[in-house]
Structures are given as C-alpha cells and as structure tokens.
Amino acid sequence: MATNPTTEKVKELAICKPKPFTRDRNKTNKFLQKCQLYLQINEDAYDSNEKKIGFILTLMEDGEAGEWSEQYIMSKVNTNTGKIVLPTYGQFVNKLRDDFKQEDRIGGAMQKLKNLRQGNRTVEELVTEFRLLVSQAGLGDTTDSDQLHLIKKFQEALSP
C-alpha cells in the first residue's frame, strides 16, 4: 500500500537548534544565521513562510525579543478573520534585522577594540575576537600604516 506524500510527516534532522534570542543587538546576525542554517538543513519540514517565521518567533520568548515577538504577532492578526497573516520570510527577516540592529556597529566595535584585553584567554581566542572586531569596525590592513596600527592595537590587548 503506497503512502500519500501529502500526509506523510517530515521529521527534522536531530541537530542543535539555535539558542533563544533575548535582545542582544550584537548577536542579531548570529541568531539569524543559525536559524537560517537550521531551516535550510530542515527545509523539508519548514517548507513555507509561516513555518519558518513561526520557528524563529518561538525562539524569541524572553526579554525585549519576547515583547517584540508578541507585538509583531498581534500586528499581523486580521481583525476580520482572527487569523495571523504573515509576510514573506525575507520581509520578516528584514524587519527583524532592522528592529534589532545595533545603532552604531562601527563605534561599538571600535570601543570594544579599545578595551580588548587577553585576560585568561589563549592567544588564539584573542586573535579570533580581535579579527572579528577589526572586521566589524571596517578597519583595513592594506597599507603599511594600517598594518602597523593593527599590530599596535593587538599588542596592547596581549597580556605581558
């Protein structure tokens, strides 16, 4: 007896789901990247805008993100039918990114670079964070003076 493909339940792959998002604007892109990867790996289970958006909204329970999620859903309820009418996945992600964007990403990264210290971390861990902050700050390393400036900043962060 053949099974009807429209009634067959699709199982999600058992990989780690993204951590819930609370409000840290520095982690908005990381959160969305993890969600996108999870949804892409499980694209058979999350095959519609509603399922994708619903998945992300369920990870936004606490803090500012929880409040945002609640307000967002309320704003999408059709008052005539009582149904939630969601936009496309792309429109939703753009709205989420816009509402949780870091106001001064470059300034924030520059401030973190200024205060960056190795502490108890390994040099490899420091290098990883340093490179990330340099990228976020939009600093280049194309000229000799750029490279010297970055070397000096890195040396300041190292423990003696």
pLDDT, position 5? 54
- Tell me how far apart the 2 most distant CA atoms of the chain are, in Å: 73
- Chain centre distance of CA 121: 24
Tokens representing 129 are 């964070």
- Cα separation, 67 vs 155, in Å, equals 42
Exposure string over 55-71, b if 16+ CB within 10 A, otherwise e: bbbebbeeeebbebbee
**For the residues of 90-154, what is the DSSP string, one character each?**
HHHHHHHHHHT--TTHHHHHHHHHHH---TTS-HHHHHHHHHHHHHHHT----SHHHHHHHHHHH
Model pLDDT, residue 1: 47
Instruction: Note whether 36 and 92 are within 8 A (CB).
Output: no
Supply the pLDDT for residue 23.
76
Other C-beta atoms lying within 10 Å of the C-beta of residue 32: 17
Residues composing the chain: 160
Is the pTM higher than 0.75? The answer reads no
Cβ count near 38 (within 10 Å): 21
Distance CA 4, CA 159 (A): 64
* Per-residue model confidence as pLDDT tens for the chain (160 residues): 455 555 567 788 878 899 999 877 778 889 999 999 999 999 999 999 999 999 999 999 888 899 999 999 999 999 999 999 999 999 999 999 988 887 667 777 888 888 999 999 999 999 999 998 888 888 887 888 888 888 888 999 998 8
Q: Which residue has the tokens 């971390």?
A: 121
